[in-house]
Structure formats: structure tokens, C-alpha cells
Structure 1
């Protein structure tokens, strides 16, 4: 049975996709009629909760005699199930239950209009009218949360970048935010993202980095070069390392192994893949950050004739994922060539490739500018140092301005 033909699957599928919704379930098991639904709730009751691995294992073992494993996969990957709609899904299932319960009592009285059946019908009507799906008082919850933060009882959910020049302007990242970092090719945006990832992971945050054009090995080499401050090009010729450099790399390797930083080098990344990773991270940790290098290489879950519309759909879905999964998503983006034809080379938001939707969806937009990228007449720094401006072109809840960085191209380090 397809999802849109079974309202009960909307509720159960949402719980399978977002297990944390189980605590928001107000419907009772007897309000569900589908056999797979009743088996699902029996499983939860027997296991005192929902463990997805155990659910899937049971489904693979018994298939249609329990719940087909293909159906569970469909629930897990259904992009039409939204966490924010869970209350409405429950309301729709409840309305079906109320209508059927009232209909059964009415038919019973119609077929046998006794005093007892009339009393039963009245009781059913009272019972049905008393049923409702309790909605969260979000206003009360938000006020309570703010009061606790003001009183110092809890600290605001803020993820510091680790760069004081940046944190002094934006305060830090907040769960639910979509951050876009734009730059021309070879300006240093991937290096900037890797340095952010290292800073965030070093502070105990969990980071997943999706690299769409560079292999995991190459990314790891760049990470090690940055951590050890050993020139990246030496990784191509390992015999060129000095003993001191080898020690530094070995030390960095041990530290990197213990970091909560995972690299995915899949070259075909869709919003649904990001959603699954965000959901997985949320089940195991707090303060989660997903970095995508880069946004305009992503593929949509559906197909559009216009690439601009595809990018707009991707950016909108990324914003929804960040909000629903309470994570930070940092998406890198190319700038179009328009900046090259201007006298003033510093980028602006309209320079973002396929910019419309990205500008609108992003909570913050960082644009990287390197003067020596355009002004080649300057004498190169002997240490490969470049000054980079991180222009905060958009920030919904903090200041805009420019944070200055020193970028060492030979090691990829940002300071």
C-alpha cells in the first residue's frame, strides 16, 4: 500500500525516520487498524522503545509476517515525510478513528435500537468528542527556554568557530542554521572549510564533511598537512619528509583518529543523503555540524529542467534539514565569473552561482576575498602566506563585517 493511501503509515513512517518523535506520540495503539501498524506498536511495547537496528533485523527475518523490510526502507527514505507535520499526521489518523468508532456505534444502534445501544451510542459520542491530539505550547516552551538562559540556569546553544576574529562578529553558529561560504576557484574555500572542521571537532563537536570532488585520501592529507604544518606537496613524495616532519605527521594522525570528524567522498550527494546523516548524528550526539564541499555540485532528489531551480530546491531542503535536525550545515559555493569583469573584485552576494535561493535560505553568507588572487604584481610571501578577508555579507542574527585571516597556502592553515 502506498504512503498516500494509508494515513497510519504517515505517523509510523515519521517515527521510523525520526525516532525522537516517539515521545510526541499521543495516539493509542488501538486507534490504528492496519496490521503492520499494530505489529509496529507491539514491537515497541515488547522492546520498551524503538531500536531501528532491531526493527530492521526482525523485518528481514519475518518480512510480511511482521513488516516488510522494503516498507521500512521506504519510510526511512521518504522525502515527503516531514518532522514538522507529525502533529497533523496524528490528527488525520485520529479523525479516521473517531469517524469509524462513531459509525460502528451508530450502525449497531440502527440495527438494534435498544435502550442499551442508545446509551452506548451516547457514551461513544462523548468519548469521541473528548479525543484530541495535544499540541505543544511552543510559545510557553520558548519563553521558558529564554528565561533559563537569562538566569544562567542553562547556556545558549552556541557553537564557537574557534576563530576569535570571526566569533567576535557572529557570536558563533547556532543549531538550525545554514551557512554558505562563497569564493572563486582556488581562493581557499576548501582549506577554510577544513580548518573550520578541525577547530569545531577539536572542541568536541561532531563534524561530517561531504567532499564531492576530492577523495577521502586527498582530504585526509590536507587535514594532516594543516595539523602538522608540513607542506602538502611533500605528501606526493613521502621520501622527502624529514624525521621531524614524520614525527609531526604521526602525532597529527593519532590526534585525528580520535576526532569526531568523518569524511564522505561520495560524488553523488543529494539532500536525502544529508538528511539521513543529520538524523543519524542527532541520535548519537549533540552539537552536530555538516560541511558540504560544495553545494552546486549536489544533485536534487527530483529532476528539473532548470539547474537554477534544482539549486534552489537543494538549498531550501538543506535549510529545512538544519532546522528539523537541529544541526549546523555549512555549504561551500562557487562564485560566478561576473566578479572578474569588475574593477572592485570583492565579491557580493549576487555573485553566488545560481544565487537567488541560496541568498534567501542562508542564515549567514561568508564571501572569501584574497587580494593576491587578482593582484599578481605583489612579491610572493616566502612562507606562502596570503591575507584573506572573510566578508560576512549576510547574518540574520548578528553583525556583518569582515574577519581577517592569514592563509598559508603550502600547508593549508588558516590563522
Structure 2
């Protein structure tokens, strides 16, 4: 280790040992392990950074990495003299360190993480000390973001800010390989409603996406919210974070258990139930209890609270699948000139949260009652109440519609799931059946049959009214 006590954490000996070991080692597994652990920027000394970069490039292009080829590569880039010349590269190869290069790489990685943490924590101190007029809550939120980025960097080696295109391409190639090697590592997530998943295929709901679901009352927003949440928790088996500003946590769980168990929630109150129904409900309750689901029903929370809670779970669990918020206009907004600006800041913050957590954020929102004055009451993004920025922030916008709410002759169970906006795929209308507040899968042909049946009932009703009027 360097003798300068004022220098940031580093180990010149470990850096030299890794470079020399990579050039003389014939153990391909160890070499690949090393270049997966550290990156050029992990090296404290610039010369070692450059030498490592050329060694990695040669390894990835299946070329030899002896002293001659590495020196030639450095010469081609005009860097050989800058790193100490041929003599220094040759000197590195004389170190008998090939057997322990993975351990030395870990030392380099640990020192790099320490340097990254120190630099960023110094930034936190500067933010807290700054006399810039920012509220202390905002400063603490920024500090928490920095701490989260340090932890993320320690786990993945990735840092925020500008990254070389080569690093981004490398990450992309690895992701594509994972998709083909294991279908469960697909780019996005299914939402648990077959017709909607078919419509959104093949990309599905991508990580980093903000999905907004808008509807008028009685259209099935809570049922949609619960269905997607339980699908992430029970099928994707990923941490699922629910923020309900309208219902209690026990109320949410009760609905989920009833829906997943295929029973009416009334059985939990009346005592009149089939033993098999109760057993089925309790079995689903146990599954949900054992899942990675977290529920926060704190009323009147603001965006900072949601972000802080999500970062806390991310630190503990390492990853998040879904963050679901019910619903937008119940989130306490910061003071602003207009409500639409205040709520626009919230949707922008949730979109940023989706990217930071690398997960899906599901946001429910109420729609303006003005849409009910239209002949066609199917919702559009423009119907979002006091939230004019939603279309700019969201990646997917879904409207829920049940004709039975306005037409007594329509099928009571048929639900239209209208995919109005999808930045990464198709748009269109999917269908589900709302039975006991649970969205059941339904085929397109069955949906068409139920819709036609409702239209036929409406026509018959209109004809009867006309005949009665004429007779009068």
C-alpha cells in the first residue's frame, strides 16, 4: 500500500500483481473472474488503468496478452511511454502472482469502493453545509440518494453520471444473453392479466417504467392494483411495495386474500361459509404472508416518504420488482402555483424513482368526471384530473372501463383494459372479467360474445321503450 497517509485508499502492489498475473496466467476462468470484478477505473494509478484497459480488450478479442502484445497495443495508442515504457510492462510480468490474482482483484475493488464512498460522502457534507436555501428535508433526501448510490456501486460496480458507451454496450450484451439463456430473465414483467400481457408482448412492462392506470369510480382500479401486486409478489417473487393512501393495510390484505382465494370477503364477517372456501382463503393468506410484499397505508404521505421507504427496502433486499401507489391525488403535494404543477412534480418524481430502483412503478389516478358528459365514456390520458404532465412522464397509460356502470343492459362482469399509450410496444384493448372484485382472465372470443350480448340487450330495451312510447 502507498506510504502517503494522505492518499485515498489504494494498493499499488495489488494493482501491479493483477496486471502481471493477467499477462502470464493461463487460467482462463481466473482471468475472466478478474475482469468481472474490476474495471479500468477501479485502479488508482492512471498507468495501471491504461494497461488494464488494453489487457481486457485483448482478452475480449481472443488475442494473446503477453508483454509484447500488450506493449504493442499501448504503443498503437501512444500510451507506452506514458505508462513507464516497455521496461515497466516487462517488470510487471516478472511478479510471481498469477495464482492469487482473484484475491488481489478483490483488494483493488475494495479500495475503489472506499474511494468512491469517501468522495460521495464528502459531497454529502458539502450539501448539508451549503447555505443555499434548500429545506433540510430536501437535503436529507439528496444525502439518502447518494448513500443509496454508494451501496449500489458496492454491489454492482456501476456508478451514476456519464458512462463510456463501451460499458453500456457491455451491460446490454449481458442482458441480451440472459434473456436467451433463461426466459425468466426477460426484459420486462408480465402484469398477471393474460390478454393485457399478450397485448404488451414481447417487451411487457420494462424495468424503469412508470405505468399509470386511470379510471372513474367503480371501474375496478383497486382490483387491477391488487391483481398486479399479487402477481409480482407470488409469481415474479420479487419485493413488491404497496402504498395505499385510501385503504388500510388490513383492508388491502383482506381484499387480496378474498380475490386470490376466489371467495367473497363477506365470509370473513358473517361466519356463514363453506369450510373449503375458508381453507382456500387461508392458504392464499399464508402464501401472501410468506411473499416479499410490503404495505404502507400511512395517510397523507408525500413523495419524499415514498422514496425513502423504497430506498430502505432496496438496501435490504438488493432489488425491487414493483412499487404501487394508490392513488396520485392523495399524495401530499409540495406548494406550487397550480395543482397540475404540483402533481406533475410527483409523477416526474415517481418516474425517476422507477429508473433509480430499476423496477416498475404502478400509479393509480382518478379521472375527471367531465368524461361522463361524452357519448363515448372510455377514458384517455387527457382525462387525468389535475395531472397534465402524466402523458410526458408515463411509459404506459391504461384506462379501465366497464359499460355496465352506465348501461344496465351490459354484462356486469366485462371489463375493458384500454392500453392508450405504450412507448415500447403495442396499444389496443384487452379484456377481463370482474367477479367478486377479482379480475379473471377471459378469451377474446368470450369478451366479444359478452359485449354482443350486452349490445343486443340494449337494442331490445330500446325497442321496448319505443314501442311503449308509440302505443301511448
For the aligned pair, the TM-score class normalised by the smaller chain equals 0.5 to 0.7
Contact 1:349 1:355 survives alignment (8 Å): no
Work out whether 1:161 is the aligned partner of 2:191: yes
Question: Aligned match of 1:206 in 231, 235, 239?
Answer: 239
Q: CA 1:150–1:379 in structure 2 vs 1: closer, same or farther (change >3 Å)?
A: closer
3-state SS in 2 of match to 1:350: helix
Q: Encode CA deviations 1:240-280: one digit per residue, 9 max, x unaligned.
A: 22222221222122112111112211111211112112212
Work out whether 1:189 is the aligned partner of 2:221: yes
Match of 2:98? none
Q: CA 1:138–1:402 in structure 2 vs 1: closer, same or farther (change >3 Å)?
A: farther
Match of 1:404? 431
The count of residues paired between Structure 1 and Structure 2 equals 305
How far apart are 1:85 and its partner, in Å? Answer: 13
Question: Aligned match of 2:269 in 227, 236, 240?
Answer: 236
Q: How does 1:97-108 map to 2 (within 5 A)?
A: none
Q: How does 1:6-405 map to 2 (within 5 A)?
A: 26=115, 77-79=140-142, 137-151=163-177, 152=180, 155-170=185-200, 171-203=203-235, 204-237=237-270, 239-283=271-315, 284-300=317-333, 302-378=334-410, 380=412, 386-405=413-432
How far apart are 1:198 and its partner, in Å? Answer: 0.8
Structure with larger RCO (C-alpha < 8 A, sep 6+): 1
Contact 2:344 2:389 survives alignment (8 Å): yes
How far apart are 1:28 and its partner, in Å? Answer: 8.7
Q: Encode CA deviations 1:122-174: one digit per residue, 9 max, x unaligned.
A: xxxxxxxxxxx997534222211232344446744422223332222223222
Contact 1:159 1:287 survives alignment (8 Å): no
- Aligned-pair RMSD on alpha carbons? 3.3
3-state SS in 2 of match to 1:355: coil
Contact 1:184 1:336 survives alignment (8 Å): yes
- Structure 2 gap ranges (5+): 1-110, 126-135, 151-158, 442-472
How far apart are 1:27 and its partner, in Å? Answer: 5.8
The structure having more radius of gyration, on CA atoms, is: 2
TM-score computed with the length of structure 2 as normaliser? 0.58
The whole-number CA distance in structure 1 between the counterparts of 2:307 and 2:405 is: 36
3-state SS in 2 of match to 1:200: helix
The whole-number CA distance in structure 2 between the counterparts of 1:395 and 1:276 is: 28
TM-score computed with the length of structure 1 as normaliser? 0.66
Q: Encode CA deviations 1:294-347: one digit per residue, 9 max, x unaligned.
A: 0111112x3124222211111111111111222211000011012100001111
Which deviates the most, 178-187 or 260-269? 260-269
Match of 1:58? none
How far apart are 1:216 and its partner, in Å? Answer: 1.3
Contact 1:363 1:395 survives alignment (8 Å): yes
- Structure 1 gap ranges (5+): 1-21, 38-72, 88-132, 381-385
Q: CA 1:134–1:244 in structure 2 vs 1: closer, same or farther (change >3 Å)?
A: closer
